[in-house]
Amino acid sequence: MEVPVAIADRVQALINAYEAKKKFNAERKVVVNNLHSMDKLSCEMAVYSFPQGELLDTLRFVYELSGTNSKFVTNILTQSRENPKKVLSDAQRTSAKSLLFNLINEPSVISAMKEIQ
């Protein structure tokens, strides 16, 4: 029995998405673990030196781990997904960096990182 092409394509798309998410999570785990290994000042300086893409990717990963619900973070992540070329405003960038730094040091993120390793 042959599988219809549309179903096979959908299954392949799901497999590709799963593999991409797994790779993304592995990359972000390394980044967050590196940030956790730093003292607070070094961690803050590293976060503030992130380019926009890495900032948003790490913020997305940490935001999902934290389980918090921030309308601001959701809006920034949605905007960046809809228009990845758009540069964040200075205020958005500063707020995103501050939120990322605070979320990285949140106990829920630290315990979640220990569980996923």
* Long-range contacts of the stretch 48-56 (C-beta < 8 A, 24+): 48/97, 48/101, 50/97, 50/100, 52/87, 52/88, 52/93, 55/93, 55/96, 55/97, 55/100, 56/80, 56/96
pLDDT given at position 2: 73
What residue ranges do the domains of the chain occupy?
5-115
pLDDT given at position 86: 87
Q: What value does the mean pLDDT take over residues 64-76?
A: 85
pTM exceeds 0.85: no
9-42, pLDDT tens digit by residue?
A: 899 999 999 999 999 989 999 999 999 999 989 9
Residue 107 near residue 49, CB atoms below 8 Å: no
